[in-house]
Amino acid sequence: MNKENIAGGGSTGSTKSTMVEKILAAKSGQKKVEPGNLVNAKIDLALGNDITAPVAIKEFERFGVDKVFDPEKVVLVPDHFTPNKDIASAEQALLIRSFAGKYKIKHYFEVGRMGIEHALLPEQGLVRPGEVIIGADSHTCTYGALGAFATGVGSTDLAAAMVIGEAWFKVPPTMRFEYIGPLPRWVGGKDLILYTIGRIGVSGARYRAMEFAGPAISELSMDGRLTMANMAVEAGGKCGYVQPDQVTFDYLKGRVTVPYEAVYSDQDAVYERVFSFDVSALEPQIAISPSPDNVHPVSEARGTEIQQVVIGSCTNGRIEDLRLAASVIKNRRVHPQVRMLVIPATQQIYRQALEEGLLTTFIDAEAVVSTPPCGPCLGGHMGILARGERALATTNRNFIGRMGHPESEVYLCGPAVAAASAVAGIIVHPEEVVQ
């Protein structure tokens, strides 16, 4: 049984700040900000993709300006419907490609050089601690794993930011989540964030910053941390973050070539709520359709039939995820009634998986390996579900119709459970496949 302790915030007389408050204060030219304050903050990076950027570009052109605020701080990634799935998606991709050329956008990532945006930007060294990053995509909160304030915005906000290099925010209160105990085998960042969402609900952190801390977080790799921050929005969070430590600095070494300054919450910072979870006996977690907060231990979902397994997305398509899935499925075959799709999150991850023999393992198991798009995660293409079908996926959302037909279902899990279940044809614990 997992133990949970919940406490209220610190003393309201404290003058100290959380990491997010410090970043927003610095970027808005103030000494201190508090939750509820409205601020205009300078932007270090503004991101758009092939779905959201076309709307922003049309708004940008209405302003009548002849340049973006900084062509090195705008990032455009065609990753949702690419390689182009139809004429409409081809037109959208052409629009952002033309915009990138016209305004000399340095960080435009064409097909073949791209990846799923929220895996690509950290990999390319474009995310640094202490920065303010916005993206016209809700999972921009991923970058908080590197100690940045990162959040999703609307396409019109992105358009304005591309002109003036600023965005306005209401400073969010911060909720602190402490994870205690060594992580059991097969349990990783996806299980921790699913468990958290299951405990507080999809609106439990609405417009809050979620600070992830504790011994279990210190134990997590950067891939696991990115997974957790990625799904903060599934709890309603404005952002999710891990304060920088040696894991962060090791990840940034060799990727980031410009100076940065890590920012930390003060010891007596005021938190709206503090949660403490004992995860030492946590099972792998499953979020059952139709909501990311309908979370159960894998043992409670065992035996559920599946027709498709997806391993990938901005949540769990990184090299660590592929290694874990490959270790489970090696020398085994995908169940004859199951389709298994493996989508490395970037071209670099694809190449690394190729060199390590992981792709051969998946192909030998009769899985399909794809170039890096978002693809089936949002019901885009390359894995759409028919009526009555059920997918088990390492993606981040399982709303009705998310991956295809309104009468299909999506269950969320980590890569080990996904791979083991692909072999069994039903949802199982990895230990049932790997002895």
Q: Does residue 297 carry a pLDDT above 50?
A: yes
Name the more confident of 170 and 5. 170
Q: Does residue 410 carry a pLDDT above 60?
A: yes
Please count the residues of the chain: 435
Q: Does residue 361 carry a pLDDT above 90?
A: yes
Q: What is the pLDDT of residue 12?
A: 40
CATH 3.40.50.720 for the 4-11+172-258+271-278 domain, yes or no: no
Q: What percentage of the chain carries pLDDT values higher than 90?
A: 96
Q: What is the pLDDT of residue 114?
A: 87
Q: Does residue 314 carry a pLDDT above 60?
A: yes
Q: Does residue 425 carry a pLDDT above 70?
A: yes
Q: What is the pLDDT of residue 44?
A: 98
What mean pLDDT comes out for the span 3-31? Answer: 74
* Sequence spans of domains, the chain: 4-11+172-258+271-278, 22-170, 286-430
Q: What is the pLDDT of residues 268-294, one digit of tens each?
A: 999 999 999 999 999 999 999 999 999
Q: Are 385 and 402 within 8 A, CB to CB? A: no
Name the more confident of 348 and 8. 348
Phi/psi zone of residue 366: left (φ > 0), alpha (ψ -120 to 50 degrees), beta?
left
DSSP for 22-87?
Answer: HHHHHHTT-S---TT-EEEEE-SEEEEETTTHHHHHHHHHHTT-SS-S-TTSEEEE--SSTTT-SH
Q: What percentage of the chain carries pLDDT values higher than 70?
A: 97
Q: What is the pLDDT of residue 15?
A: 64
What mean pLDDT comes out for the span 129-139? Answer: 98
Q: Does residue 332 carry a pLDDT above 60?
A: yes
Burial of 203: CB neighbours in 10 Å, binned 0-12, 13-18, 19+ = exposed
Q: What is the pLDDT of residues 379-402, one digit of tens each?
A: 999 999 999 999 999 999 999 999
Q: Does residue 14 carry a pLDDT above 80?
A: no
Q: What is the pLDDT of residue 6?
A: 44
Q: Does residue 20 carry a pLDDT above 60?
A: yes
Q: Does residue 4 carry a pLDDT above 60?
A: no
Tell me the fold of 22-170: Aconitase; domain 3 (3.30.499)
Q: What is the pLDDT of residue 435?
A: 76
Handedness of CA 83, 316, 376, 127 (dihedral sign): negative
Q: With bands split at pLDDT 50, 70 and 90, how would you rate the model's confidence at 213?
A: very high
Q: What is the pLDDT of residues 57-92, one digit of tens each?
A: 999 999 999 999 999 999 999 999 999 999 999 999
344 cis-preceded (ω within 30 degrees of 0): no
**How far apart, in whole angstroms, are the C-alpha atoms of residue 212 and residue 175?**
9
DSSP for 152-202?
Answer: E--HHHHHHHHHHSEEEEEPPPEEEEEEESPPPTT--HHHHHHHHHHHH-T
Q: What is the pLDDT of residue 2?
A: 38
Indicate the average pLDDT of the chain.
95
- DSSP conformational letter for 385: B
Give pTM, 2 decimals: 0.95
Residue 380: which residues within 8 A CB-CB, separation 6 or more? Answer: 80, 81, 85, 373, 374
Encoded tokens for 371: 């170039």
* Two domains, one topology: 22-170 and 286-430: yes
What mean pLDDT comes out for the span 332-348? Answer: 98
Q: What is the pLDDT of residue 5?
A: 44
Name the more confident of 13 and 15. 15
Label the pairing between strands 368-369 and 339-342: parallel
- Give the residue from 95, 147, 156, 96 showing the smallest Cα distance to 122: 147
CATH 1.10.630.10 for the 286-430 domain, yes or no: no
Q: Does residue 305 carry a pLDDT above 60?
A: yes
Radius of gyration of the chain (CA): 21
Q: Are 303 and 427 within 8 A, CB to CB? A: yes
**How far apart, in whole angstroms, are the C-alpha atoms of residue 261 and residue 280?**
33
Instruction: Tell me which of 14-28, 114-128, 201-215 is least confident.
Output: 14-28
